[in-house]
Amino acid sequence: MGANGQAKKVATLQKGKRMVLRKPRPSKKKQQKDAKRHRTYVDAEKEKLLKSGVITTEDIEKMEAEKGDDDASDEVAAMDVEE
């Protein structure tokens, strides 16, 4: 039930013989809040790992560089598919 007592609308997709329910996309504000919450959580985890000595700052930089490379390769792959 919604805030005013009405049921929320749910999108339906038909896949083959059965109907599948799908949640509506969250609002832009909720997406931004979730992204901010995730960033603060990731930063706190990094600090905790650095403090405990499990990883070093070089390890973190290396992982972030690899992540950036993955994003770039995904974009190239997407462009190949479009052509």
Number of other residues whose CB lies within 10 A of the CB of residue 42 = 10
Prediction pTM value: 0.50
pLDDT tens-digit series, residues 8-26? 666 666 767 777 777 788 8
Output the six-digit token pair for 36: 């901010």
| Placement of tokens 């974009």 in the chain | 75
Mean pLDDT of the chain: 79
User: What pLDDT score was predicted for residue 59?
Assistant: 87
Strand blocks (E) in 1-83: 11-15, 18-22
pLDDT tens-digit series, residues 25-48? 889 999 999 999 999 999 999 999
